[in-house]
Structures are given as C-alpha cells and as structure tokens.
Amino acid sequence: MNFPMGNNFGAPHDVDQQLTIMRHALAMIHDTEQGGRLIDWHDEWPAPFEYFTGQNRAKAS
C-alpha cells in the first residue's frame, strides 16, 4: 500500500478501510510460514499526496 507516512492503517475515520487492512494483516499472520515475506496490497489513498524528501525545493524565478 502506498499511503502517506503515519497512516499505515488507512485514512483517519475510514473505519471500513481500517478494518480491511487489519483483516489482511491478521490473515497474513495465519497464512505466512516464514518471516521476511512482503505482500503488496493494492489499496489506494483517496487523494493525491507527495512524500517529503528532506530536501528543499528550488523556488521558481
């Protein structure tokens, strides 16, 4: 899932999305036989966002 940092369980107050994510996580605990497995869930954040890279952007002149 590609969500903004700090929103690992979905958008605030979106209980349906949060429950879906929790159910996927609990199912993964049951289904996974060894550590180190990564699964990409295709869930979308409802609005465009951009991560802060830690670098200042040059101002347009």
All residues at 6 or more sequence positions from 44 whose CB lies less than 8 Å from its CB, including other chains? 2
- Whole-model pTM: value is 0.63
Q: Phi, psi (5° rounding) for residue 42?
A: -95, 75
- In the structure encoding, which two tokens stand for residue 49, read together? 């966002």
- Distance, in Å, from the CA atom of 52 to the CA atom of 54, rounded to the nearest integer, reads 6
Q: Is it the case that residue 61 has pLDDT exceeding 60?
A: no
Q: How confident is the model at residue 58 (pLDDT cuts 50, 70, 90)?
A: low
Residue 10: pLDDT band (50, 70, 90) is confident
The pLDDT-based confidence of 59 (bands split at 50, 70, 90) is: low
Task: Report whether pLDDT(35) > 70.
Answer: yes
Q: If you average pLDDT over every residue of the chain, what do you get?
A: 79
